[in-house]
């Protein structure tokens, strides 16, 4: 006789052996998965320090908690639903998050960034420092703000040439839709030497 498992009864529920194990949906989506599976202990993800541990606990205990906290038609219904949560988590981390990051980086690569690249590539001191044909790395970090009176940009990225690499720091302001570099300097990653290309208030 096949044993009948009843879910959604809390601690009174008997968890089928075949669903025990790691839950990738709970691990990857944590509190989002928790709300969808009536497992509100997952909200501990918002508590600093505890959240680091909680993400692994959710992965280990997710199946058991979901079975006890929600009513499922049967084991197959449970497995099918958890598979969808797993797939959603994988898509989020392999597609959506990287795509969002790339879009944010491209937003930083605007006129101020482009102007700084032109300045660097045409500067003989930069070429002397890191070598010929300096090129920027893909990653750009910083902040661009816009307001009624214009805007400002503070950006940082890496460049490399045939002799070495360096960090670039720039500050620019925007007035009447036109960006103007105010400060631009390069620091060698090999020697730590600082090369000031533009100083504040100097026109581009």
83-98 tens-digit pLDDT: 999 999 988 888 776 7
Q: 3-class DSSP state for residue 23?
A: coil
pLDDT for 7-51, tens place per residue?
Answer: 989 988 989 999 999 999 999 999 999 999 999 999 999 999 999
Stretch among 54-58, 68-72, 194-198 having the lowest mean pLDDT: 194-198
CA-based nearest residue to 136, from 169, 172, 178, 104: 169
Neighbours of 152 (CB within 10 A): 16
Tell me which of 60, 81, 106 is where a domain ends.
106
Residue 53: per-residue pLDDT:
95
Q: How far apart are CA 135 and CA 17, in angstroms?
A: 56
CA-based nearest residue to 168, from 145, 144, 198, 147: 198
Is 99 found in the same domain as 20? yes
- Model pTM? 0.54
The count of domains in the chain is 2
Tell me which of 106, 139, 156 is where a domain ends.
106
The boundaries of the domain holding residue 183 are 109-198
Q: How far apart are CA 10 and CA 156, in angstroms?
A: 52
């Amino acid at each position: 006789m096949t044993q009948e498992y009843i879910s959604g009864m809390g601690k009174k529920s008997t968890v089928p052996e075949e669903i025990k194990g790691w839950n990738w949906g709970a691990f990857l989506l944590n509190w989002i998965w928790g709300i969808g599976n009536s497992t509100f202990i997952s909200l501990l993800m918002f508590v600093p320090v505890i959240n680091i541990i909680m993400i692994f606990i959710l992965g280990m205990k997710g199946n058991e908690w979901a079975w006890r906290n929600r009513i499922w038609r049967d084991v197959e219904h449970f497995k099918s639903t958890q598979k969808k949560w797993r797939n959603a988590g994988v898509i989020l981390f392999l597609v959506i998050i990287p795509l969002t990051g790339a879009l944010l980086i491209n937003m930083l690569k605007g006129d101020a960034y482009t102007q700084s690249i032109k300045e660097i590539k045409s500067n003989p001191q930069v070429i002397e420092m890191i070598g010929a044909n300096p090129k920027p790395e893909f990653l750009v970090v910083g902040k661009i703000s816009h307001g009624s009176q214009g805007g400002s940009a503070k950006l940082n990225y890496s460049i490399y040439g045939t002799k070495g690499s360096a960090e670039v720091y720039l500050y620019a302001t925007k007035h009447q839709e036109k960006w103007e570099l105010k400060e631009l300097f390069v620091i060698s990653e090999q020697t730590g030497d600082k090369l000031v290309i533009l100083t504040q208030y100097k026109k581009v």
